[in-house]
Structure 1
Amino acid sequence: MTQPEESKYRKLDARSLRGIAHPLRMQLLSALRLHGPATASRLAERLGESSGATSYHLRQLATHGFVEDAPEQGKGRERWWRAVDQGLEFDSTQLADPDPAVRGAADVFLHEIATTHTRELSTWLGTREDWQPTWSGATDMSDWTVRLTPERTRELIGKIHELLESYEDEDAPGTERVRFHTHAFPIESE
């Protein structure tokens, strides 16, 4: 069930969007991506949930192809899970889908992404003193406002994504996982 190597990101269609659009499912998938394979019990502990809830939602994620068994991790009866993809691609045209269930799932998905970004940034701000001083000078909280057409906005987003993918530096000494959040949306002109 693992996707080919060239496809690190999964495009969400209407069915898979409905399968992922739940706050706990999105948190479980994120935890598996960030921390690697885990059992429902370990994920429950990490996320402050019951193992029954995490187990149920992991099975739902598996039904929709977001996670799969990681049997090489387990011992005995433990069931380990791993993320299938490294990321998701959301087609914003689904916000205009005629099916209200798809539009509702898209709305839940996007709001959960925004909540996750806020939580990650707040966690960094609350723990930044725990990091070596060199990391303090290597962070950024910027915002820009530029005048663009929708076409130029899509072009810029594509270039930003390409640039970020070109910077993967896994084996260098001192490497840490670094999160980048990008947000591009129009605002009302005065």
Structure 2
Amino acid sequence: MADEQARRIGVEALKALAHPLRVRIFSELTSYGPATASALAGRLGESSGSTSYHLRQLEKHGYVREDPERGNGRDRWWERVPGPIEFGEAAYDSSPGAREAGDLVEREFMDVENQRYADYWRGRAGLPEVWLRAHQTGSAALRLDPAELEELGGKVWALFEEYRGRESAGSRRVDVQFRGFPVVEKEEG
């Protein structure tokens, strides 16, 4: 998967994702793997009818697909479409609603990421010490121009891709978050 080209999402697909529950469903399938609408409903505190509807909308726009290996006549399993998805350009499109959709999607992803870290922090006492020692948190204050920030981001994402799909004895799902953004000076904000 490391060599896979990112699939660029257009404005209409971005708008389709721009719903809080759809972002959460997409994120759940990305982090935890295939699930049924009922399982997602239980994890997200929603009705299975609601998660089923939103899964079909995500499927229509190429974010998720039915997992034929797991389904049977009664239960439909859903999985995230593999490979990187990029919607940055669509989020800055000048068409009506594009910027708002991009902002909503980005806010929801930030909320999901922050919640996952808070869940880890609350539950860390139950983890083996080897995982506590492996935990990584940090930040770096750098001085970069826009091209350098974009270059840095490309290198970080390439490194993530090197590790995607690996599994070894003792491995578990790990959430790695990266954010690179210009610091807004007090007088700018």
Asked if TM exceeds 0.5, the reply is: yes
1:35 corresponds in structure 2 to 32
2:155 corresponds in structure 1 to 159
Deviation >4 Å, runs of 4+: none
Paired with 2:120 and 2:150, the residues of 1 have a C-alpha distance of 29
What residue ranges of structure 1 are gaps of 5+ in the alignment?
none
SS at match of 2:122: helix
> CA contact under 8 A between 2:2 and 2:161: conserved in structure 1?
no
Greater length-normalized contact order (CA 8 Å, ≥ 6 residues apart): 2
1:50 corresponds in structure 2 to 47
Give me the TM-score of the superposition, normalised by structure 1. 0.87
Distance 1:38 1:168, change over 3 A: closer
Which one of 112, 118, 128 corresponds to residue 116 of structure 1?
112
Give per-residue Cα distances to partners, 1:46-103, cap 9 Å, x unaligned. 2110111101101101111111222331233322222112442232x44442223111
Paired with 1:176 and 1:79, the residues of 2 have a C-alpha distance of 25
Paired with 2:43 and 2:138, the residues of 1 have a C-alpha distance of 30
Which one of 107, 129, 144 corresponds to residue 133 of structure 1?
129
2:73 corresponds in structure 1 to 76
Indicate whether 1:85 and 2:55 are aligned. Answer: no
Distance 1:64 1:94, change over 3 A: closer
Paired with 2:83 and 2:115, the residues of 1 have a C-alpha distance of 20
Distance 1:8 1:136, change over 3 A: farther
The one-letter code sitting in structure 1 at the alignment partner of 2:66 is D
What residue ranges of structure 2 are gaps of 5+ in the alignment?
none
Give per-residue Cα distances to partners, 1:130-187, cap 9 Å, x unaligned. 1110111111221111110000111111111122222347332222222111111111
Give me the TM-score of the superposition, normalised by structure 2. 0.88
SS at match of 2:65: strand
Indicate whether 1:10 and 2:7 are aligned. Answer: yes
Distance 1:121 1:138, change over 3 A: same
Alignment root-mean-square deviation, CA: 2.2
Distance 1:51 1:124, change over 3 A: same
> CA contact under 8 A between 1:38 and 1:81: conserved in structure 2?
yes
Overall identity of the aligned pairs, in %: 38
> CA contact under 8 A between 1:33 and 1:86: conserved in structure 2?
no
The one-letter code sitting in structure 2 at the alignment partner of 1:177 is R
> CA contact under 8 A between 2:64 and 2:79: conserved in structure 1?
yes
